[in-house]
Chain A
């Protein structure tokens, strides 16, 4: 079964500090993973997917097969990054991790 784990429910950082939101997966086969974001009073939306290897809003995520991780990183946090972040595998069932709230303090 495709499972992802987000160990942190809340991550609080200061503006300008680096951010790393953790996601670990338990998988059979070749994993394909996504990060979704939910800003306050907005609907969930895709942030990035690992196959595209892109950087969105300064965020990147690299698939590490050795550590079975897909952590979301940003070198310098901004206040507008405050949101709920979900890691999710591609697949039929699309089961999400529990989510991590990121709070960026000024």
Chain B
């Protein structure tokens, strides 16, 4: 199921670098989400978007920014990466708050 595609799958970077994680979907959904997953902390919402002109902060948006370039594309940026942003990042889409469809994740390591 490649309806929600994340790139890259893995990324290692250094503190202070700018990083962009990309997500694209073929589901035709308006709603897109970015989450990070940390051991013991579960899945936490970073940003979400209901359409191209709508961006909302989630639980932990500090240090992150997003861009909704099109209905199908939602990018997450770390302007200046820090080690505690090392995590597994997931993109997801949904149709009006119903079932979420997830990408396969991006493992980011900040050294």
The chain A residues found within 8 Å of chain B, CB to CB, are: 6, 9, 34, 36, 43-46, 49, 86, 88, 90-99
Contacts and interface: CB of A to CB of B under 8 A. Distances in A.
Given A43-B102, A43-B105, A94 B45 contact: yes
Please indicate which of the listed interface residues A45, A49, A94, A96 has the most CB atoms of chain B within 10 Å of its own CB: A94
B43 A99 contact: yes
Nearest to B99: A46
B41 A44 contact: no
B32 to A, nearest CB: 11
A86 B42 contact: yes
List the 7 closest pairs (A to B, CB-CB), nearest first. A98-B42, A99-B42, A44-B102, A96-B43, A43-B102, A43-B104, A46-B99
14 contacts: A34-B100, A43-B104, A43-B105, A44-B90, A49-B99, A92-B48, A94-B45, A94-B48, A94-B100, A95-B58, A96-B35, A96-B44, A98-B42, A99-B42
A43 B103 contact: yes
B73 to A, nearest CB: 19
Given A90-B98, A93-B58, 9 more contacts: A34-B99, A43-B90, A43-B104, A43-B105, A92-B97, A93-B48, A93-B56, A95-B58, A96-B44
A8 to B, nearest CB: 12
Interface of B: 1, 33, 35, 40-45, 48, 50, 56, 58-59, 90, 92, 94, 97-100, 102-105
Contacts of B103: 43
A105 B58 CA distance: 36
A90 B99 CA distance: 8
Contacts of B104: 43
Nearest to A89: B97
A77 B45 CA distance: 30
A94 B42 contact: no
Contacts of B40: 9, 98
A97 B48 CA distance: 17
Contacts of B58: 93, 95
